[in-house]
Structure 1
Amino acid sequence: MTRVTFYLLAATEDRARQRFACRLARKALGMGQRVHIHTPDAEGTRELDHLLWTFEDTAFLPHGTDVDDPNSPVTLHETAVPGDRCDVLINLAAEVPEYFGRFERIADLVGGDEVSREQGRQRYRFFKERGYPLEHHDIGAVR
């Protein structure tokens, strides 16, 4: 069954959530897992695409926005459904994507502002009502 982990960030800006998504993707990739990042919109996809190249001075994460590219270990998109070979879904959007059940693990990133927290509570209830195993981690400031 899909495991769902909520990461509660103290920061209120979207950039902090995006940076944390990069770190989670890097960690999962290092464990040999394929990752898909569900972004909130086309602008979020463009911003994250750039950040995945630049969030570290000494490295980048190989990635792409073509969800059907079998050579891309990290994909990101706001609407396209990823291929069947992904292990981890990182959710940056306000909604739970319809295709969430195909992943072994979901990392749901919740910002520190009240709107993000309420949207996160709604997603938490969604998973809880359906019996998914849930956990959460409070994350301090993300640089």
Structure 2
Amino acid sequence: MTRVDFYVLPTSTLHERRVLACKLTEKAWRQGVNVYIHTSSGTETDIMNNLLWTFRQGSFIPHEKSSAPLADREDMVVLIGHGNPPESFRDLVINLSSDKPPLFEEFQRVAELVDEDESVRTEGRKRYQAYKHQGCQLETHKLDENQR
């Protein structure tokens, strides 16, 4: 059964959601977990590709876009993309899209990032209900200013 963690930020900026995605990715990467960051578009993929190198001073998370040639991504444990994840990536998907990530039910965990923006919350509630309907294990983490 897939576990879905909803992280609720006290802000309403896309940048804060992206930075949280980087922090969750770094934590998972340090634990040896394969991470697929699911974005909404090629532009969003490029933004996350850059942000993983720069989100904080001294950050280093080896990663690649899922569209890169296989030889460039075969040893990576962190991939970013807006399509179906590679078959070998089924540990954690971090969702930055307004839709459920493709093949989410094949992952051990899904991280959904929601903030105070009304449209983001509305879409997050829809995804929550959809995951619940599909029998996923749901957890909600309300983050405060110090946890983001």
Q: 1:112 aligns with which of 100, 105, 116?
A: 116
The more displaced of 98-107 and 82-91 is: 82-91
| Contact in 2 for aligned 1:33/1:86 (Cα 8 Å) | no
Aligned pairs, number: 143
CA–CA separation in structure 2 for the residues paired with 1:103 and 1:80: 12
- TM-score by length of structure 1 reads 0.93
Asked if the contact 1:5/1:107 (under 8 Å) is kept, the reply is yes
Structure 1 residue runs of 5 or longer lacking an equivalent are none
Deviations, residues 82-129 of structure 1 (Å, cap 9, x unaligned): 232331000010000221112111111112100000000000000101
Paired residue for 1:128?
132
CA–CA separation in structure 2 for the residues paired with 1:21 and 1:65: 15
Cα distance in 2 for partners of 1:71, 1:39 equals 21
Instruction: List per-residue Cα deviations over 1:7-26 (Å, max 9, x = no partner).
Output: 01111111100000000001
Give the whole-Å Cα distance in 2 for the aligned partners of 1:80 and 1:128: 22
The equivalent of 2:141 in structure 1 is: 137
Q: Which portions of structure 1, spanning 4 or more consecutive aligned residues, are displaced by more than 4 angstroms?
A: none
Q: Is there any run of 5+ residues in structure 2 with no aligned partner, and where?
A: none
Q: Identity of aligned pairs, percent?
A: 37
Contact in 2 for aligned 1:11/1:140 (Cα 8 Å): no
- On the 8 A contact 1:41/1:78 being kept in 2, the answer is yes
